[in-house]
């Protein structure tokens, strides 16, 4: 483990896998309430816990607070200790440091706990200058409202500025949550992943199965519904060779599915994937990414097949 990892943030490096909770209550992108609902989300949570997953990522904006409230309810129903990560959205009208403290208190109230394990700035654009934003974030940690702090969607320059600003307040940057999958490797190509490893900043990989594309269930003839279908119109016709390779590699490991290969690849790249699941079946399949490992050669082959699509 990297020597620069401070004792406060070390636990995050021991977390191998998590569960994303954007799906819990979101109607716009995920159509919550149409083909799945509260009970399905509860089952996804329970199945994940049974599989040993102990890290849930939510945000105040997911379902307008509904995801946090659902998590709070699910936590009450279990005696397992679960690590909770949530996020602050830097809306333009939030231009004071107090706004962040008010926001985290709101999240804690919805989740029904006294402190979260990780509090992240959802995206880098804020009317509050970065130094002040990081001071407020550090303050949240010092007040004991969060155990560690992180950022999300920060590029290398933005992250380095956040890292330094937090260091001036004696609080380490624990993580950067960014999009990362076999179909989106910008953080690798742009050097952000390497920089995070060097600094001991945990990379939390969101959309690790590229919003369902890496399960192989979507195609140009059968695109994902709504916004996703439009977004992936250009990519979908190109991904067959990669999916074929993922099937072959999965077979070498006793019939692992494409989703499981995609998630195991994220783990092999030393990131913490947080796939979202709409129900127990999806959560159970995703948890099957744990307990085995792709070989170095397989990771290289997957890299080449994804480079051929992305570069
Ligand atoms: N920080 C940020 O800005 C940010 C942005 C995005 C996400 N996130 C976080 O990252 C988490 C995961 O990212 P994501 O939700 O964008 O994408 P994802 O995990 O790559 O994809 C999730 C979607 O894929 C489908 N799926 C999942 N498992 C499946 C399986 N085993 N078989 C078949 N289909 C399956 C489901 O949708 P369908 O069934 O409808 O296909 C599910 O909603 C989110 O929940 C959230 O916590 C953070």
> Which atom of ligand 1 approaches the CA of 57 most closely?
47
71 lines ligand 1 (CB under 6 A): no
274 lines ligand 1 (CB under 6 A): yes
Which pTM was predicted? 0.98
67 lines ligand 1 (CB under 6 A): no
Give the C-alpha separation, 133 to 113, whole Å. Answer: 23
> Which atom of ligand 1 approaches the CA of 178 most closely?
1
Using 70 as the pLDDT threshold, list the residues of the chain that sit under it. 1-5
For ligand 1, atom 27, the nearest C-alpha belongs to: 277
Cβ contacts of 56 within 8 Å, gap of 6 or more: 18, 19, 21, 45, 71, 82, 83, 84, 85
212 lines ligand 1 (CB under 6 A): yes
Dump pLDDT digits (tens) for 150-162: 999 999 999 999 9
62 tagged catalytic: yes
For a mutational test of ligand 1's pocket, the pick from 70, 88, 211, i.e. the residue with the most ligand atoms closer than 8 A to its C-beta, is 211
Which one from 36, 62, 180, 218 is the annotated catalytic residue?
62
256 lines ligand 1 (CB under 6 A): no
Q: State the distance from the centre of ligand 1 to the C-alpha of 22, rounded, in angstroms.
A: 8
> Which atom of ligand 1 approaches the CA of 210 most closely?
20
For ligand 1, atom 10, the nearest C-alpha belongs to: 206
250 lines ligand 1 (CB under 6 A): no
Q: State the distance from the centre of ligand 1 to the C-alpha of 23, rounded, in angstroms.
A: 7
Give the C-alpha separation, 56 to 18, whole Å. Answer: 6
259 lines ligand 1 (CB under 6 A): yes
For ligand 1, atom 15, the nearest C-alpha belongs to: 276
Backbone angles phi, psi at 289, to 5 degrees: -80, -10
For a mutational test of ligand 1's pocket, the pick from 27, 182, 212, i.e. the residue with the most ligand atoms closer than 8 A to its C-beta, is 212
Which pLDDT score, from 0 to 100, does residue 7 have? Answer: 79
Tell me the pairing of strands 116-121 and 272-273: unpaired
Cite the beta strand spans of the chain per DSSP E: 19-20, 55-57, 83-88, 116-121, 146-152, 173-179, 202-206, 272-273
**DSSP helix/strand/coil, 159:** helix
* Unique residue bearing structure tokens 């950067």: 176
Which pLDDT score, from 0 to 100, does residue 5 have? Answer: 65
Which pLDDT score, from 0 to 100, does residue 3 have? Answer: 46
Which pLDDT score, from 0 to 100, does residue 151 have? Answer: 98
> Which atom of ligand 1 approaches the CA of 282 most closely?
31
Q: Give the strand order in the sheet containing 83-88.
A: 19-20, 55-57, 83-88, 116-121, 146-152, 173-179, 202-206, 272-273
- In the 8-state DSSP scheme, what is residue 181? B
Torsion of CA 248, 250, 254, 257, to 10 degrees: -130
């Amino acid at each position: 483990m990297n020597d620069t990892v401070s004792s406060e943030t070390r636990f995050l490096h021991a977390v191998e896998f998590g569960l994303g909770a954007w799906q819990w209550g979101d109607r716009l992108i995920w159509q919550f309430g149409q083909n799945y609902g509260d009970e399905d989300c509860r089952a996804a949570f329970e199945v994940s816990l049974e599989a040993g997953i102990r890290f849930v990522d939510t945000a105040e904006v997911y379902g307008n607070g509904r995801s946090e409230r659902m998590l709070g309810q699910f936590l009450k129903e279990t005696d397992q200790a679960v690590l909770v990560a949530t996020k602050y959205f830097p809306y333009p009208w939030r231009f004071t440091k107090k706004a962040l403290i008010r926001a985290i208190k709101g999240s804690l109230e919805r989740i029904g706990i006294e402190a979260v394990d990780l509090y992240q700035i959802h995206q880098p654009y804020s009317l509050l200058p970065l130094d002040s934003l990081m001071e407020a974030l550090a303050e949240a940690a010092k007040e004991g409202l969060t155990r560690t702090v992180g950022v999300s969607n920060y590029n290398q320059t933005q992250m380095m500025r956040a890292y330094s600003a937090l260091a001036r307040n004696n609080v380490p940057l624990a993580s950067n949550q960014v999009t990362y999958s076999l179909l989106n490797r910008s953080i690798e190509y742009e050097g952000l992943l390497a920089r995070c490893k060097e600094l001991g900043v945990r990379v939390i990989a969101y959309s690790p199965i590229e919003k369902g594309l890496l399960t192989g269930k979507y195609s140009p003839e059968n695109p994902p519904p709504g916004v996703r279908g439009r977004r992936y119109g250009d990519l979908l016709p190109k991904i067959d060779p990669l999916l074929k390779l993922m099937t072959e590699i999965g077979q070498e490991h006793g019939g692992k599915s494409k989703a499981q290969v995609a998630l195991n690849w994220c783990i092999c790249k030393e990131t913490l994937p947080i796939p979202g699941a709409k129900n127990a079946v999806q959560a159970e399949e995703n948890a099957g990414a744990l307990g085995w490992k792709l070989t170095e050669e397989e990771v290289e082959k997957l890299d080449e097949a994804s480079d051929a699509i992305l570069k």
